[in-house]
Amino acid sequence: MRLRGSGQFLIGSPQAGQRRQVCSLPNQPLLVHTPAKLNLFLEILGQRDDGFHELETLMMTVSLYDTLVFTEKRPHKNSTHTEETSEEVSLRCFDAGYSGSCHRNAGSALRQNATEGATGITEVPDGRDNLAVRAAELLRSKTGCRRGIHIDLYKRIPAAAGLAGGSSDAAAVLFALNRIWQLGLSRDELQSFASEIGSDVSFFLNPQSAAICRGRGEIIEPLALPNRLHFVIAKPPSGLSTADVFRHCRLQDRSPGVGSLVDSLRRGDLRTAGQRLLNSLQAPAEELNPDVGRLKANFASHNTIGHLMSGSGTAYFGVCRHRCEARKAAARLRASMKHSDQVFVVANPP
Protein backbone atom coordinates (compact mmCIF):
# COMPACT_ATOMS: atom_id res chain seq x y z
CA MET A 1 0.00 0.00 0.00
CA ARG A 2 1.48 3.34 -1.01
CA LEU A 3 1.50 6.07 1.62
CA ARG A 4 0.47 9.25 -0.19
CA GLY A 5 2.95 12.06 -0.18
CA SER A 6 5.61 10.07 1.63
CA GLY A 7 7.19 8.07 -1.16
CA GLN A 8 7.29 5.19 1.31
CA PHE A 9 5.59 1.84 1.28
CA LEU A 10 3.90 0.02 4.12
CA ILE A 11 3.40 -3.65 3.41
CA GLY A 12 0.90 -5.68 5.44
CA SER A 13 0.02 -8.50 3.09
CA PRO A 14 -0.11 -12.19 3.95
CA GLN A 15 3.16 -12.54 2.04
CA ALA A 16 4.87 -10.09 4.36
CA GLY A 17 3.01 -11.02 7.53
CA GLN A 18 0.37 -8.59 8.74
CA ARG A 19 2.40 -7.49 11.73
CA ARG A 20 5.60 -6.45 9.99
CA GLN A 21 5.81 -2.84 8.83
CA VAL A 22 8.12 -2.03 5.94
CA CYS A 23 9.19 1.33 4.56
CA SER A 24 11.35 1.72 1.48
CA LEU A 25 12.39 4.16 -1.22
CA PRO A 26 13.84 3.20 -4.60
CA ASN A 27 17.61 2.53 -4.29
CA GLN A 28 17.46 3.38 -0.59
CA PRO A 29 17.86 1.26 2.56
CA LEU A 30 14.88 -0.90 3.52
CA LEU A 31 13.36 -0.35 6.99
CA VAL A 32 11.53 -3.13 8.81
CA HIS A 33 9.78 -2.69 12.18
CA THR A 34 9.40 -6.10 13.83
CA PRO A 35 7.42 -6.79 17.04
CA ALA A 36 7.87 -8.46 20.41
CA LYS A 37 5.57 -11.26 21.53
CA LEU A 38 3.83 -12.33 24.71
CA ASN A 39 2.92 -15.88 25.74
CA LEU A 40 -0.60 -15.86 27.17
CA PHE A 41 -0.41 -19.62 27.58
CA LEU A 42 2.66 -21.86 27.69
CA GLU A 43 2.45 -25.47 28.82
CA ILE A 44 5.38 -27.89 28.73
CA LEU A 45 4.05 -31.32 27.77
CA GLY A 46 7.23 -33.41 27.89
CA GLN A 47 10.76 -33.79 26.62
CA ARG A 48 11.40 -34.96 23.08
CA ASP A 49 13.99 -37.41 21.80
CA ASP A 50 15.85 -34.52 20.12
CA GLY A 51 16.38 -32.79 23.49
CA PHE A 52 13.77 -30.10 22.93
CA HIS A 53 10.53 -29.89 24.90
CA GLU A 54 7.07 -30.56 23.49
CA LEU A 55 4.89 -27.56 24.22
CA GLU A 56 1.61 -25.84 23.53
CA THR A 57 1.57 -22.05 23.59
CA LEU A 58 -0.58 -19.10 22.59
CA MET A 59 1.65 -16.29 21.34
CA MET A 60 0.61 -12.77 20.39
CA THR A 61 2.61 -9.92 18.91
CA VAL A 62 2.49 -6.53 20.65
CA SER A 63 3.39 -2.96 19.79
CA LEU A 64 6.98 -2.98 21.02
CA TYR A 65 9.30 -2.97 18.01
CA ASP A 66 12.88 -3.40 16.97
CA THR A 67 13.82 -1.63 13.74
CA LEU A 68 16.20 -3.08 11.18
CA VAL A 69 17.71 -0.99 8.39
CA PHE A 70 19.03 -3.03 5.45
CA THR A 71 21.62 -1.59 3.07
CA GLU A 72 22.76 -3.81 0.23
CA LYS A 73 26.51 -4.01 -0.34
CA ARG A 74 27.49 -3.49 -3.95
CA PRO A 75 30.91 -3.85 -5.57
CA HIS A 76 32.92 -0.62 -5.69
CA LYS A 77 33.83 0.28 -9.27
CA ASN A 78 37.40 1.25 -8.38
CA SER A 79 37.98 -1.44 -5.77
CA THR A 80 40.32 -4.37 -6.31
CA HIS A 81 38.57 -6.24 -3.44
CA THR A 82 35.03 -6.41 -4.81
CA GLU A 83 34.53 -9.93 -3.50
CA GLU A 84 35.12 -8.84 0.11
CA THR A 85 33.17 -5.59 -0.12
CA SER A 86 30.06 -7.01 -1.75
CA GLU A 87 29.59 -10.45 -0.18
CA GLU A 88 29.81 -9.75 3.56
CA VAL A 89 26.99 -9.87 6.06
CA SER A 90 27.60 -7.23 8.72
CA LEU A 91 25.55 -5.96 11.65
CA ARG A 92 25.65 -3.04 14.08
CA CYS A 93 23.37 -2.81 17.11
CA PHE A 94 22.09 0.38 18.72
CA ASP A 95 19.95 1.09 21.76
CA ALA A 96 16.98 2.99 20.31
CA GLY A 97 15.08 3.36 23.59
CA TYR A 98 11.29 3.04 23.79
CA SER A 99 8.90 5.55 22.22
CA GLY A 100 5.75 3.44 22.43
CA SER A 101 5.33 3.09 18.68
CA CYS A 102 7.10 3.17 15.34
CA HIS A 103 6.32 5.93 12.89
CA ARG A 104 6.39 6.42 9.14
CA ASN A 105 9.29 8.86 9.47
CA ALA A 106 11.25 6.37 11.57
CA GLY A 107 14.06 6.21 9.03
CA SER A 108 15.08 9.84 9.37
CA ALA A 109 14.72 9.72 13.15
CA LEU A 110 16.93 6.64 13.43
CA ARG A 111 19.56 8.09 11.13
CA GLN A 112 19.58 11.27 13.23
CA ASN A 113 20.07 9.23 16.40
CA ALA A 114 22.98 7.38 14.80
CA THR A 115 24.72 10.58 13.74
CA GLU A 116 24.18 12.05 17.18
CA GLY A 117 26.23 9.24 18.68
CA ALA A 118 23.91 6.36 19.47
CA THR A 119 26.14 3.78 21.09
CA GLY A 120 26.42 0.11 20.28
CA ILE A 121 24.88 -2.09 22.95
CA THR A 122 26.95 -4.88 24.47
CA GLU A 123 24.09 -7.17 25.60
CA VAL A 124 23.29 -8.03 21.98
CA PRO A 125 26.09 -9.69 19.96
CA ASP A 126 27.10 -8.22 16.61
CA GLY A 127 28.58 -11.35 15.03
CA ARG A 128 27.40 -14.85 14.20
CA ASP A 129 26.02 -15.30 17.70
CA ASN A 130 23.27 -12.85 16.71
CA LEU A 131 20.21 -14.60 15.25
CA ALA A 132 19.85 -11.86 12.62
CA VAL A 133 23.30 -12.67 11.20
CA ARG A 134 22.58 -16.40 11.40
CA ALA A 135 19.36 -15.86 9.44
CA ALA A 136 21.19 -13.99 6.68
CA GLU A 137 23.94 -16.60 6.46
CA LEU A 138 21.40 -19.45 6.43
CA LEU A 139 19.50 -17.81 3.59
CA ARG A 140 22.70 -17.44 1.59
CA SER A 141 23.62 -21.06 2.27
CA LYS A 142 20.19 -22.43 1.31
CA THR A 143 19.82 -20.38 -1.89
CA GLY A 144 23.41 -20.02 -3.07
CA CYS A 145 23.02 -16.24 -3.12
CA ARG A 146 26.37 -14.48 -2.59
CA ARG A 147 25.17 -10.91 -2.32
CA GLY A 148 26.13 -8.90 0.76
CA ILE A 149 24.09 -6.88 3.23
CA HIS A 150 24.69 -4.48 6.08
CA ILE A 151 22.10 -4.35 8.86
CA ASP A 152 21.69 -1.61 11.45
CA LEU A 153 19.62 -3.06 14.29
CA TYR A 154 17.90 -0.54 16.58
CA LYS A 155 16.88 -2.40 19.73
CA ARG A 156 13.82 -1.53 21.77
CA ILE A 157 12.79 -5.07 22.75
CA PRO A 158 14.74 -6.04 25.91
CA ALA A 159 17.07 -9.02 25.66
CA ALA A 160 16.80 -12.12 27.90
CA ALA A 161 13.20 -11.17 28.65
CA GLY A 162 11.00 -13.87 27.09
CA LEU A 163 9.78 -11.36 24.48
CA ALA A 164 11.56 -13.05 21.54
CA GLY A 165 13.32 -9.94 20.26
CA GLY A 166 16.14 -12.00 18.72
CA SER A 167 13.70 -14.38 17.03
CA SER A 168 11.65 -11.49 15.67
CA ASP A 169 14.81 -9.86 14.29
CA ALA A 170 15.77 -13.12 12.56
CA ALA A 171 12.33 -13.41 10.96
CA ALA A 172 12.61 -9.82 9.75
CA VAL A 173 15.95 -10.65 8.12
CA LEU A 174 14.47 -13.65 6.28
CA PHE A 175 11.54 -11.57 5.05
CA ALA A 176 13.60 -8.52 4.05
CA LEU A 177 16.42 -10.36 2.28
CA ASN A 178 13.92 -12.47 0.34
CA ARG A 179 12.66 -9.15 -0.99
CA ILE A 180 16.00 -7.34 -1.43
CA TRP A 181 17.77 -10.28 -3.06
CA GLN A 182 14.65 -11.16 -5.11
CA LEU A 183 14.81 -14.81 -4.07
CA GLY A 184 11.11 -15.49 -4.67
CA LEU A 185 10.74 -17.78 -1.65
CA SER A 186 7.24 -18.58 -0.39
CA ARG A 187 6.19 -18.03 3.21
CA ASP A 188 6.21 -21.81 3.74
CA GLU A 189 9.84 -21.96 2.56
CA LEU A 190 10.81 -19.04 4.80
CA GLN A 191 9.11 -20.69 7.78
CA SER A 192 11.00 -23.91 7.09
CA PHE A 193 14.29 -22.00 7.21
CA ALA A 194 13.09 -20.11 10.30
CA SER A 195 12.55 -23.34 12.24
CA GLU A 196 16.26 -24.13 11.80
CA ILE A 197 17.23 -20.85 13.49
CA GLY A 198 15.05 -20.99 16.60
CA SER A 199 11.76 -22.28 17.94
CA ASP A 200 9.98 -18.89 17.95
CA VAL A 201 11.22 -17.56 14.61
CA SER A 202 8.55 -19.18 12.42
CA PHE A 203 5.77 -17.56 14.45
CA PHE A 204 6.80 -14.08 13.30
CA LEU A 205 6.31 -15.04 9.66
CA ASN A 206 2.69 -16.10 10.09
CA PRO A 207 -0.03 -13.77 8.70
CA GLN A 208 -1.97 -13.29 11.94
CA SER A 209 -0.94 -11.41 15.07
CA ALA A 210 -1.69 -14.45 17.25
CA ALA A 211 -1.17 -18.18 16.89
CA ILE A 212 -1.26 -21.44 18.79
CA CYS A 213 2.17 -23.05 18.43
CA ARG A 214 2.92 -26.69 19.11
CA GLY A 215 5.80 -29.13 18.74
CA ARG A 216 8.82 -27.15 19.89
CA GLY A 217 7.07 -24.03 18.59
CA GLU A 218 7.40 -24.58 14.85
CA ILE A 219 3.90 -26.03 14.24
CA ILE A 220 1.76 -22.93 13.85
CA GLU A 221 -2.01 -22.52 13.88
CA PRO A 222 -2.79 -18.86 13.02
CA LEU A 223 -5.48 -17.39 15.23
CA ALA A 224 -7.79 -14.48 14.41
CA LEU A 225 -9.06 -12.68 17.53
CA PRO A 226 -11.81 -10.04 17.24
CA ASN A 227 -10.77 -7.63 19.99
CA ARG A 228 -7.70 -5.56 20.68
CA LEU A 229 -5.96 -6.37 23.96
CA HIS A 230 -3.97 -3.93 26.09
CA PHE A 231 -1.04 -4.85 28.30
CA VAL A 232 1.50 -3.38 30.67
CA ILE A 233 4.92 -5.08 30.64
CA ALA A 234 7.66 -4.77 33.23
CA LYS A 235 11.23 -5.97 32.65
CA PRO A 236 13.69 -6.08 35.57
CA PRO A 237 17.38 -5.33 34.99
CA SER A 238 18.26 -9.02 35.32
CA GLY A 239 17.64 -11.66 32.69
CA LEU A 240 17.40 -15.42 32.45
CA SER A 241 18.89 -18.05 30.16
CA THR A 242 16.14 -19.91 28.33
CA ALA A 243 18.16 -23.14 28.55
CA ASP A 244 18.54 -22.77 32.33
CA VAL A 245 14.82 -22.25 32.85
CA PHE A 246 13.91 -25.29 30.74
CA ARG A 247 16.48 -27.42 32.61
CA HIS A 248 14.79 -26.56 35.92
CA CYS A 249 11.27 -27.15 34.62
CA ARG A 250 9.40 -30.06 36.22
CA LEU A 251 6.43 -31.57 34.44
CA GLN A 252 3.08 -30.90 36.10
CA ASP A 253 -0.35 -32.45 35.68
CA ARG A 254 -1.87 -31.49 32.35
CA SER A 255 -4.09 -28.41 32.30
CA PRO A 256 -7.38 -28.36 30.33
CA GLY A 257 -5.32 -26.88 27.47
CA VAL A 258 -5.29 -23.64 25.56
CA GLY A 259 -8.78 -24.05 24.11
CA SER A 260 -10.68 -22.46 27.01
CA LEU A 261 -8.46 -19.37 26.88
CA VAL A 262 -8.99 -19.03 23.12
CA ASP A 263 -12.77 -19.37 23.56
CA SER A 264 -12.77 -16.64 26.22
CA LEU A 265 -10.76 -14.28 24.02
CA ARG A 266 -13.04 -14.89 21.04
CA ARG A 267 -16.08 -14.07 23.19
CA GLY A 268 -14.40 -10.94 24.52
CA ASP A 269 -14.69 -12.35 28.06
CA LEU A 270 -11.51 -10.86 29.47
CA ARG A 271 -12.29 -11.71 33.08
CA THR A 272 -12.40 -15.44 32.29
CA ALA A 273 -9.42 -15.11 29.96
CA GLY A 274 -7.41 -13.59 32.80
CA GLN A 275 -8.09 -16.70 34.87
CA ARG A 276 -6.90 -18.99 32.06
CA LEU A 277 -3.39 -17.56 31.70
CA LEU A 278 -0.72 -20.21 32.28
CA ASN A 279 3.06 -20.54 32.04
CA SER A 280 4.79 -23.77 33.07
CA LEU A 281 8.14 -21.95 33.07
CA GLN A 282 7.20 -19.37 35.67
CA ALA A 283 7.80 -21.57 38.73
CA PRO A 284 11.40 -22.50 37.75
CA ALA A 285 12.04 -18.88 36.72
CA GLU A 286 10.95 -17.70 40.17
CA GLU A 287 13.39 -20.19 41.73
CA LEU A 288 16.24 -18.97 39.56
CA ASN A 289 15.61 -15.23 39.73
CA PRO A 290 13.98 -13.39 42.66
CA ASP A 291 13.05 -10.47 40.38
CA VAL A 292 10.31 -12.62 38.81
CA GLY A 293 8.68 -13.26 42.18
CA ARG A 294 9.02 -9.58 43.04
CA LEU A 295 7.21 -8.59 39.85
CA LYS A 296 4.52 -11.21 40.46
CA ALA A 297 3.80 -9.76 43.91
CA ASN A 298 3.80 -6.23 42.53
CA PHE A 299 1.35 -7.03 39.73
CA ALA A 300 -0.91 -8.88 42.18
CA SER A 301 -1.36 -5.63 44.09
CA HIS A 302 -2.60 -3.77 40.99
CA ASN A 303 -5.96 -3.92 39.25
CA THR A 304 -5.17 -6.01 36.18
CA ILE A 305 -7.43 -8.69 34.73
CA GLY A 306 -4.65 -11.24 34.93
CA HIS A 307 -0.85 -11.31 35.03
CA LEU A 308 1.88 -13.72 33.96
CA MET A 309 5.54 -14.05 33.05
CA SER A 310 6.17 -14.17 29.30
CA GLY A 311 8.13 -17.09 27.84
CA SER A 312 11.18 -17.99 29.90
CA GLY A 313 11.26 -14.52 31.50
CA THR A 314 12.12 -12.22 33.03
CA ALA A 315 9.53 -9.87 31.51
CA TYR A 316 6.18 -9.89 33.30
CA PHE A 317 2.88 -8.56 31.95
CA GLY A 318 -0.63 -7.69 33.03
CA VAL A 319 -3.79 -7.78 30.88
CA CYS A 320 -5.79 -4.56 31.11
CA ARG A 321 -9.35 -3.66 30.11
CA HIS A 322 -8.32 -0.73 27.92
CA ARG A 323 -5.34 1.51 27.14
CA CYS A 324 -6.19 4.06 29.83
CA GLU A 325 -6.12 1.33 32.49
CA ALA A 326 -2.79 0.06 31.11
CA ARG A 327 -1.29 3.56 31.33
CA LYS A 328 -2.50 3.96 34.91
CA ALA A 329 -1.11 0.55 35.86
CA ALA A 330 2.23 1.48 34.27
CA ALA A 331 2.39 4.70 36.28
CA ARG A 332 1.69 2.83 39.52
CA LEU A 333 4.29 0.19 38.65
CA ARG A 334 6.95 2.82 37.91
CA ALA A 335 6.23 4.50 41.23
CA SER A 336 6.52 1.28 43.22
CA MET A 337 9.35 -0.52 41.41
CA LYS A 338 13.09 -0.16 41.10
CA HIS A 339 14.31 2.71 38.94
CA SER A 340 16.20 0.23 36.77
CA ASP A 341 13.01 -1.66 35.80
CA GLN A 342 11.60 -1.01 32.33
CA VAL A 343 7.84 -0.54 31.93
CA PHE A 344 5.97 -0.60 28.60
CA VAL A 345 2.35 0.02 27.61
CA VAL A 346 1.51 -2.07 24.52
CA ALA A 347 -1.36 -3.63 22.59
CA ASN A 348 -1.75 -6.37 20.02
CA PRO A 349 -2.24 -5.12 16.44
CA PRO A 350 -5.87 -4.45 15.46
Checking if the pLDDT of 268 tops 50, the result is yes
Last residue of a domain, one of 222, 257, 288: 222
The closest of 264, 274, 341 to 303, measured between CA atoms, is 274
> What is the model's pLDDT at position 79?
53
* pLDDT (average), residues 26-41: 90
Amino acid type, 299: F
**137 and 8 both lie in a single domain:** yes
The number of folded domains in the chain is 2
Look at 19-33, 61-75, 159-173, 241-255 and tell me which has the smallest mean pLDDT: 19-33
- Which residues are known to be catalytic? 37, 200
Per-residue pLDDT of 182-199, as tens digits, reads 999 999 999 999 999 999
Last residue of a domain, one of 158, 190, 222: 222
- Cα–Cα dist 213/215, whole Å: 7
The domain that contains 27 carries what CATH number? 3.30.230.10
Indicate the pairing of strand 316-320 with strand 342-347: unpaired
**245 and 208 both lie in a single domain:** no
* pLDDT (average), residues 125-137: 90
Range of the domain at 163: 2-222
pLDDT-derived band of residue 149, with 50, 70 and 90 as boundaries? very high
**190 and 232 both lie in a single domain:** no
Checking if the pLDDT of 25 tops 80, the result is no
Q: Where are the alpha helices (DSSP H) in 31-152?
A: 82-87, 106-115, 131-143
Checking if the pLDDT of 260 tops 50, the result is yes
Asked if the bond preceding 314 is cis, omega within 30° of 0, the reply is yes
Whole-structure pTM value: 0.87
Beta-carbon contacts of 155 under 8 Å, excluding residues fewer than 6 positions away, are: 66, 93, 94, 95, 96, 121, 124, 165
Last residue of a domain, one of 197, 222, 247: 222
- Cα–Cα dist 45/57, whole Å: 10
- Cα–Cα dist 317/305, whole Å: 11
**212 and 236 both lie in a single domain:** no
- Residue 133 φ then ψ, to 5°: -70, -40
**202 and 88 both lie in a single domain:** yes
Checking if the pLDDT of 57 tops 90, the result is yes
Per-residue pLDDT of 306-333, as tens digits, reads 999 999 999 999 999 999 999 999 999 9
> What is the model's pLDDT at position 14?
34
> What is the model's pLDDT at position 253?
77
Amino acid type, 126: D
The closest of 308, 295, 337, 333 to 38, measured between CA atoms, is 308
> What is the model's pLDDT at position 11?
29
The mean pLDDT value of the chain amounts to 85
**18 and 95 both lie in a single domain:** yes
Burial (CB count within 10 angstroms: exposed 0-12, middle 13-18, buried 19+), residue 191: buried
Look at 54-63, 120-129, 204-213 and tell me which has the smallest mean pLDDT: 120-129
Q: What percent of the chain has pLDDT over 70?
A: 81
Checking if the pLDDT of 105 tops 60, the result is no
* pLDDT (average), residues 126-150: 93
Per-residue pLDDT of 220-255, as tens digits, reads 999 999 999 999 999 999 999 999 999 999 888 788
pLDDT-derived band of residue 126, with 50, 70 and 90 as boundaries? confident
